Amino acid sequence: MINSKKLLNILVKNDFTFITGIPCSILKDFLKCLDDNQDKIKHIIATSEEETMGIAAGYYLATSKIPMVYMQNSGLANSVDVLTSLLNKEVYGIPVLLLISWRGEPDEKDEPQHIKMGKITLKLLKLLGIPYKILSDKEEIVIEQIRKAKEVLRRNSFPYALIIKKGLIEQYEGRSKRNIYPMAREEAIKIIIDNLRGNEIIISTTGKTSRELFEYRETKKKSHKTDFYVVGSMGCVASIGFGIAIQKPKKKVIIFDGDGSVLMKMGTLATIGCYLPKNFYHIIFDNNSYDSTGGQKTVSDSVRFDKIALACGYRKTKIVFKQEELTNFIRGASLRKGPIMIVVKVKSGGRKDLGRPTTSPIENKKTFMELLLK
């Protein structure tokens, strides 16, 4: 294993002092270290991998210094267009040090959404012509790997990747930055479910939101047939729900979304507002964090989702902080035409003993489609 502070110091000694990215649980301890050492390194919180590449390119153009971008390997797939059309040495030739976490590594147990990308991560880098090294767990080798990376980046003027495997980075106890909202997301989910009729379609975003919804259904001994639990594909829950809503106008479609997810694909709000599905109800659990990857901060505390939604064409929006407000709005929402957005301000964090869905994504899809196609 490697110590986060030592890794940061090695990077800074090689003049890597600017970093931006999208978090992954593999990187969570290193990211805590970044936040605690802003005097040594500039850390920009971004909303999508494509955005991080643009920020990095701008930094390089303005300083001639090499930036760093961190991401999960799923984000590498999201970044292919920018890597080939902006950073490519046949276009602008912009060097960026990529720190890529390796989810779904072959022969390592992981969630279904990571398996395919895990198998092709190194092949994709080779196809893109991006040189890479798997980061060592020995400090003296890491020192040489980063020195070599800098040399290659300067020579090639093109990205270079360091692959970070699960379990490589030591635990780091960072300073806590929890928000102080009174309601937990799991509590809010229970309030919503308890005040619905039960025949609504629910599409829930990736991570703890879907896990909490699944567990509450289990606790209540209720069917999961009305729920679609999105795994992976962060940011796509609203567009999936929109696609269902326009095809099933007689069914109420409720989206369980998160602030990080909305920020990643905010253009979806404009599409929904343009086509105005009357049966579309968009609930955002906003805890100002990427909760499922370790609680890293998002930029949602500077964003008014409700005003953006209204500007995009949503018919009504509401921000709620308390249980009674949420209960009252959910009870009255069925009387209003959508699209409607409810922003529920919730605490960051969740239960440590929170389980995962016991059905596979394929089983979930099959049961869900059986209901929709009746």
**Alpha-carbon gap, residue 43 to 374, rounded angstroms:** 50
**Alpha-carbon gap, residue 230 to 218, rounded angstroms:** 18
pTM (predicted TM-score): 0.92
Pair 105, 118: CB distance under 8 Å? yes
Pair 287, 347: CB distance under 8 Å? yes
Domains and CATH numbers, the chain: 4-164 (3.40.50.970), 185-372 (3.40.50.970)
Q: Tell me phi and psi for residue 202, to 5 degrees.
A: -120, 125
The one-character DSSP state at 315 is: S
Per-position pLDDT tens, the chain of length 374:
999 999 999 999 999 999 999 999 999 999 999 999 999 999 999 999 999 999 999 999 999 999 999 999 999 999 999 999 999 999 999 999 999 999 999 999 999 899 999 999 999 999 999 999 999 999 999 999 999 999 999 999 999 999 999 999 999 988 766 678 999 999 999 999 999 999 999 999 999 999 999 999 999 999 999 999 999 899 999 999 999 999 999 999 999 999 999 999 999 999 999 999 999 999 999 999 998 888 899 999 999 999 999 999 999 999 999 999 999 999 887 678 999 999 999 999 888 899 999 999 999 999 999 999 98
Encoded tokens for 218:
């289990």
